């Protein structure tokens, strides 16, 4: 019989042995993790898995899987990183399903993938750069899908043009103009994916009735006529802050138009006023200020409404449209010392606007009037005078006439406060109406181009102002965008520092600057 001490030592040894064996068992369990089983809806071999009727991408597969096939899946979308746990995957076949949408990052992490099939699904488009990180992809099958060949697929056309991956022929299911076309035969230039938007860029805290931009000494300026203060306020473009900032004021009583003109590197400003007569100012550099150099004859110009400047045969002129019952629209010509009265036109007819343009190589003026249809005057070079030529149309209440060119064809827009505006085309001998635009409450119209895009904006006192875009196919303007501005009276476009800024003078609200933004629809 063992003594108590010996029995005690034996018990301790047995206890230590048990602890050791437990630790050994736990260590072995950590070193040998449980091997994932094949998902219930799949059949697996050593290196492949074939899945049918799965409700989602299985989270785990046996190790060593390099090929995965999924058919008749019970889901329609595949999310981001769905296969990232299968980083050894080389062959992926997602075929004969109802897959309708993929994430841009569906195939993230599949660096070893060489073969991919998405055939016979219900895909109409693919996310941009879907295959960007599949660096060694050699075969891609997209057959049997109903691809919509619009801007969302432009990137794929570009990618197939550059990739070394083999892609069997696929076809467009829509839209109509591309239906049945082989996508390989399309080119990126077949898609018109550049749209645009006018977004508020800067707000000026004052009302204005004219906005005239100009360049002087390498800087970009804009002059606003302010009905509340009566001032001509000048703003200069800040190339650092990329905004217009206040620069100078011309103190006046009731300015309705501030028209800049640069002659022989000298800046002049024609300030047309309702009261106290109209004046001409000259900019002086030392000190920086405008100095009044000339008054405009108040017996001729009583109620100015608009000022236009132009050059003829190397000489500078400006013309003031007079809207009073007793005044006369008048032309002034520059000589070495100032502007002097040259010719009176169209007395007693309450003119609202004047447009200078060249028709068939001959200078013309078109006067809009509140009392009769627009009148056309033609320049007589021998007499150096404008002579009555014709009336454009029987339309009355034409507030403004503006011209524009499209593919060397001359057009006019006549805007009306009551009634519709008209687009006319020059047919060699006369202007012919080609389009009617609804424009109730419109006192200002402005055609302008940004790049190759021809726009027309119609201001409105009663509703949103409308921007139209010229459509080359129909040879008509199509509605493009509505802008919320209050009682617009004038527009001007400034292109500076790779920005296109549309200025909008507002009689009853803040004056606004809109930026023209290009939007690539294929990049979304």
Q: What are the angstrom distances between the C-alpha of 476 and each of 22, 277, 427, 455, 467? A: 88, 43, 16, 11, 13
Q: What are the angstrom distances between the C-alpha of 511 and each of 56, 225, 406, 415, 505? A: 56, 11, 29, 21, 5
Q: What is the pLDDT along the chain (524 residues), one digit of tens a residue?
A: 446 565 656 665 555 555 555 555 655 545 556 778 899 999 999 999 999 999 999 988 998 999 999 999 999 999 999 999 999 999 999 999 999 999 999 999 999 999 999 999 999 999 999 998 999 999 999 999 999 999 999 999 999 999 999 999 999 999 998 999 999 999 888 888 888 999 999 999 999 999 999 999 999 999 999 988 888 999 999 999 999 999 999 988 889 999 999 999 999 999 999 888 899 999 998 888 999 999 988 778 888 999 999 999 999 999 999 988 877 899 999 998 889 999 998 777 789 999 999 988 899 999 998 788 999 999 999 999 999 999 887 787 899 999 999 999 999 999 988 889 999 999 988 899 999 999 888 999 999 999 999 999 999 999 999 999 999 989 999 999 999 999 999 999 999 999 999 999 999 999 999 999 998 888 76
| 247: its two tokens | 């620069």
Give the per-residue pLDDT at 130: 95
Alpha-carbon distance of 273 to 301, in angstroms, equals: 9
Alpha-carbon distance of 271 to 263, in angstroms, equals: 16
Number of other CB atoms surrounding residue 420 within 10 Å? 15
Q: Looking at 187-338, which runs of residues are DSSP E strands?
A: 194-204, 210-216, 219-225, 232-238, 243-250, 255-263, 266-273, 278-284, 289-296, 304-312, 315-322, 328-334
Alpha-carbon distance of 263 to 249, in angstroms, equals: 21
Alpha-carbon distance of 223 to 214, in angstroms, equals: 8
Alpha-carbon distance of 107 to 524, in angstroms, equals: 19
Q: Which of 294, 224, 295 is nearest to 259 (CA)?
A: 224
pTM of the predicted protein model: 0.75
Alpha-carbon distance of 101 to 130, in angstroms, equals: 12
Give the per-residue pLDDT at 2: 46
Helix (H), strand (E) at residue 432: strand 431-438
393 close to 415: Cβ distance less than 8 angstroms: no
What backbone phi and psi angles, to 5 degrees, belong to 24?
-65, -40
Number of other CB atoms surrounding residue 462 within 10 Å? 10
Alpha-carbon distance of 241 to 82, in angstroms, equals: 45
Give the per-residue pLDDT at 354: 96
| Dihedral sign (CA 14, 19, 25, 28) | negative
Q: ∠ CA(295), CA(296), CA(301), 5° rounding?
A: 150
Q: ∠ CA(349), CA(352), CA(353), 5° rounding?
A: 120
Question: What is the Cα gyration radius of the chain?
Answer: 38
What backbone phi and psi angles, to 5 degrees, belong to 130?
-55, -35
Helix (H), strand (E) at residue 5: helix 4-31
Q: What are the angstrom distances between the C-alpha of 179 and each of 160, 173, 182, 271? A: 19, 5, 9, 60
Give the per-residue pLDDT at 131: 95
Do the bridges between strand 147-148 and strand 172-174 make them parallel or antiparallel, or are there none, so unpaired? Answer: parallel
Give the per-residue pLDDT at 5: 60
Torsion of CA 424, 318, 264, 294, to 10 degrees: -160
Alpha-carbon distance of 409 to 382, in angstroms, equals: 28
Alpha-carbon distance of 481 to 469, in angstroms, equals: 9
Give the per-residue pLDDT at 325: 82
Alpha-carbon distance of 72 to 52, in angstroms, equals: 6
């Amino acid at each position: 019989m063992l003594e108590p001490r010996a029995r005690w030592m034996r018990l301790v040894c047995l206890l230590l042995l048990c602890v050791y064996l437990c630790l050994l068992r736990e260590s072995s369990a950590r070193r040998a993790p449980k091997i994932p089983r094949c998902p219930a809806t799949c059949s697996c071999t050593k290196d492949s898995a074939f899945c049918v009727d799965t409700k989602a991408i299985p989270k785990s597969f046996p190790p060593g899987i390099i090929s995965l096939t999924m058919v008749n899946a019970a889901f329609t979308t595949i999310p981001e990183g769905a296969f990232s746990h299968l980083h050894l995957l080389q062959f992926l076949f997602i075929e004969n399903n109802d897959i309708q949408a993929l994430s841009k990052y569906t195939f993230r992490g599949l660096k070893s993938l060489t073969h991919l099939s998405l055939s016979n699904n219900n895909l109409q488009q693919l996310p941009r750069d879907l295959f960007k990180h599949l660096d060694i992809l050699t075969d891609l099958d997209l057959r049997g899908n109903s691809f919509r060949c619009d801007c969302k697929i432009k990137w794929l056309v570009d990618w197939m043009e550059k990739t070394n991956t083999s892609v069997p022929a696929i076809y467009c299911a829509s839209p109509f103009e591309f239906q049945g076309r082989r996508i390989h035969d399309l080119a990126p230039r077949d898609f018109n994916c550049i749209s645009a938007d006018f977004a508020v860029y800067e707000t000026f805290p004052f009302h204005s009735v004219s906005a005239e931009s100009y360049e002087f000494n390498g800087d970009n300026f804009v002059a606003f006529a302010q009905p509340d203060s009566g001032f001509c306020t000048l703003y200069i473009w800040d190339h650092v802050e990329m905004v217009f900032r206040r620069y100078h004021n011309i103190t006046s009583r009731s300015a309705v138009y501030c028209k800049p003109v640069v002659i022989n590197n000298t800046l002049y400003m024609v300030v047309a006023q309702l009261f106290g007569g109209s004046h001409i100012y000259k900019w002086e550099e030392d000190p920086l200020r405008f100095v009044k150099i000339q008054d405009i004859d108040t017996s001729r110009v009583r109620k100015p409404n608009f000022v236009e400047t132009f050059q003829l045969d190397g000489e500078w002129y400006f013309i003031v449209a007079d809207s009073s019952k007793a005044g006369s629209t008048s032309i002034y010509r520059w000589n070495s010392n100032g502007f002097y009265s040259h010719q009176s036109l169209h007395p007693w007819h309450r003119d609202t606007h004047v447009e200078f343009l060249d028709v068939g190589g001959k200078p013309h003026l078109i006067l809009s009037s509140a009392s009769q249809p627009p009148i056309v005057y033609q320049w007589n070079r021998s007499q150096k005078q404008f002579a009555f030529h014709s009336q454009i149309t029987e339309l009355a209440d034409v507030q403004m006439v503006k011209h524009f060119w499209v593919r060397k064809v001359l057009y006019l827009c006549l805007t009306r406060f009551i009634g519709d505006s008209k687009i006319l085309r020059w047919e060699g001998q006369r202007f012919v109406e080609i389009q009617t635009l609804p424009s109730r409450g419109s006192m200002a119209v402005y055609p302008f181009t940004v790049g190759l895009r021809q726009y027309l904006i119609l201001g409105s006192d009663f509703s949103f102002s409308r921007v139209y875009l010229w459509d080359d196919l129909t040879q008509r303007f199509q509605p493009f965008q509505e802008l919320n501005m209050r009682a617009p009276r004038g527009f001007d476009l400034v292109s500076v520092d790779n920005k296109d800024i549309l200025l909008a003078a507002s009689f009853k609200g803040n004056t606004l600057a809109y930026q023209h933004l290009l939007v690539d629809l294929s990049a979304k």
